[in-house]
Amino acid sequence: MRVEKKWFIEGRAQRVIEALRNNGFDAIYLQTKEEAFDKIMNLIPKGSLVGIGGSVTIREIGLVDALVKRGNKLAEDWLKKYSMEEKLSIRRQQLTADVFLTSSNAVTEDGELINIDGLGNRVGAMIFGPKKVIVVAGINKIVKDSYEGIERIRNIAAPMNVKRLGGKTPCLLTGNCDLDECEPPNRNCHIITIIEKRPMKTDMTIVLVGEELGF
């Protein structure tokens, strides 16, 4: 990576880390996903129940297999051939897991976490329930403010997520959100959350990684 690019990424990331800390989060910047892997494995107690949200970032870091190998029990249904009832049961388990592991759709320069969800289990578990929440985000998730965060989700993350999940939405056809033409049951976006400050009773660590990760 060119020194100018590295300088720019690290400067921006450090400003976001400072803003997150000012908002009460435990926040750390690591340059690579390998460093993030080591840090997160150390943050998760051995033997604990770990809920994992539908996050490409978490899978790209390789945490799922490593946790299983180490003996952690997981509450996650990614790519599993479960019935809807079984999936819902696992997602309810995530809400009371020892640790909940997820990414954030966007992280603002003033230290807020922006997310859009359909079912709500992911954003619900980020806010209250699990004893500890670990949020991992690549530098591609940094946005100026909540407005840009929602735009990012609707026009960058959502089309790729719909493609991944095999839905049928306007953003899949054009790459851009069209709220007027997107209605349930096809619509993926039902809930927007903006976590402005660390939720009062949730131990929350944000791991910002100096690489592009996830959608």
Least CB distance to ligand SF4 at residue 70 (A)? 36
Which residues, including other chains, have CB under 8 Å from residue 75's CB and lie 6 or more apart? 49, 50, 51, 52, 90, 91, 93, 94, 97
Which segment (42-50, 58-66, 81-89, 167-175) binds ligand SF4 by CB under 6 A? 167-175
Q: Is 170 in the site for ligand SF4 (CB under 6 A)?
A: yes
Asked if 118 and 188 touch (Cβ cutoff 8 Å), the reply is: yes
Q: Pick one of 91, 122, 132, 187: the residue that binds ligand SF4 (CB under 6 A).
A: 187
Residues of span 115-154 touching ligand SF4 by CB under 6 A? 154
Q: How far is the CB of 155 from ligand SF4 (least distance, A)?
A: 7
Would you count residue 106 as binding ligand SF4 (CB under 6 A)? Answer: no
DSSP 3-state assignment of 102? strand
Does residue 178 bind ligand SF4 (CB under 6 A)?
yes
Q: With contact defined as beta carbons under 8 Å apart, do 198 and 113 qualify?
A: no
Strand order in the sheet with 113-117: 142-143, 106-108, 113-117, 191-195
Residue ranges that bind ligand SF4, judged by CB under 6 A:
154, 158, 162, 169-171, 177-179, 182, 187-189
